Amino acid sequence: MSQQQEKKIITVFGATGKQGGAVVCALSKSGQYHIRAVARSRDESHTQKLREMGVEIVKANIATGAGLDKAFCGAYAAFLNTASFDPEIEGKEYECGRCLVDQARANGVKILIWSTLPNVQKLSNGKYNVPHFTEKARVEEYIRSLQTQSAFESVIFVAPPFYYQNFLCPKFLPKKDEKGCFVFEFPKLRTLTACDITDLGPIALKLFQNPHPYNGKIVLIDSENAPPQHYIETFQKVTGQKSCLKHQEMENRKDIHHAKQLAEMFAYLDEFSYFGQEKLPIVHAREIYPEVKNWETFLRKTGWKGEHQEEP
Ligand SMILES: NC(=O)c1ccc[n+]([C@@H]2O[C@H](COP(=O)([O-])OP(=O)(O)OC[C@H]3O[C@@H](n4cnc5c(N)ncnc54)[C@H](OP(=O)(O)O)[C@@H]3O)[C@@H](O)[C@H]2O)c1
């Protein structure tokens, strides 16, 4: 048997995306695991980065269930994430998540990381409706119910807040006005909790290496927590580009999909912050991985100066 085959298998969903991609990258750098990256297509162009890392690529679809057995077969651990706004998944994210968890369990997966978000419905007493948060939280509750029968050795929930990378994509990209000032349009928010989503990779690696102390915990990837104005001032300081903040509520953004849901999300975050006043088993990312990047470090490391960038 080759060395690669002897390594424990970790299955990573969303491996071509930001969260799963970060996890694959960190696991691959460690050289400790056999990485099984899941994608809906094995096309060379679509999976090029994964191919360069030399990881196994398995074709599976969360929405139809096709290939899930193969994805989990013989796996020791798995990173699970559902893409809420993918047309195949939207409207049935809870069912998709639950199916993933059941398949992982049926295949004897021992360690699970579930990418979660708060239950907005519950925490706001029904005031706000943010399905892409609540559906993930419902899957978390389902997993917790299974854990009363010790379905898995350890399950850890990771909760990424707003990615810094969102500022680099069309929805939140600053626009240059006629005076050359970068205008960041953002809804009213007391504090924006945010992270460099690539930091999820080394965090997940640490959790896979030492899962048991974190069993049942929610790891909040909160690398920066500051008013939106701080992000703009830091951008100006680091890049030297004149910039300003303009309040713009999401429901007025005719240019984006899901504007209403995002408006409710920001209203919820403004009133309750991520997890409200609930006493939850939260661990902050810095306790696991002190190197998490604040916004200033992110700007300095990436060299981003306000231009559009799909893949930071
Ligand atoms: N943006 C934020 O600030 C933020 C913050 C916290 C949480 N989130 C959550 O992050 C999630 C998205 O994760 P991401 O940012 O990593 O997404 P992403 O970069 O858009 O990537 C989506 C991934 O999901 C995979 N995927 C989509 N539909 C699939 C299906 N039917 N079966 C199997 N795989 C499927 C895609 O794989 P293939 O196309 O290769 O099949 C791709 O790898 C969303 O649910 C969102 O709620 C986002």
Which residues, 6+ apart, have CB-to-CB distance to 81 below 8 Å? Answer: 13, 14, 17, 19, 20, 115
For 70-99, how does the pLDDT look when each residue is reduced to its tens digit (9 = 90+)? 999 999 999 999 999 999 999 999 999 999
Q: 81: Cβ below 6 Å to ligand 1?
A: yes
Rounded Cα distance between 155 and 161, Å, is 20
What is the model's pTM? 0.96
Confidence of residue 311 (pLDDT cuts 50, 70, 90): low
Contact (Cβ atoms closer than 8 angstroms) between residue 59 and residue 39: yes
Please say if the pLDDT value at position 5 is more than 80: no
Tell the residue nearest (CA) to atom 4 of ligand 1.
162
Contact (Cβ atoms closer than 8 angstroms) between residue 8 and residue 74: no
How remote is the CA of residue 59 from the centroid of ligand 1, in Å?
A: 15
Mean pLDDT of 93-107: 98
Please say if the pLDDT value at position 1 is more than 80: no
Q: Determine which helix (DSSP H) or strand (DSSP E) holds 9, and give its type and residue range.
A: strand 9-12
How remote is the CA of residue 49 from the centroid of ligand 1, in Å?
A: 16
What confidence score (pLDDT) does residue 251 get?
84
b/e map 35-48, b = 16+ CB within 10 Å: bbbbbbeeeeeebe
Which residues, 6+ apart, have CB-to-CB distance to 301 below 8 Å? Answer: 293
For ligand 1, what atom is nearest to the CA of residue 61?
32
Mean pLDDT of 18-26: 98
For 278-304, how does the pLDDT look when each residue is reduced to its tens digit (9 = 90+)? 889 999 999 999 999 999 999 999 999
Confidence of residue 312 (pLDDT cuts 50, 70, 90): very low
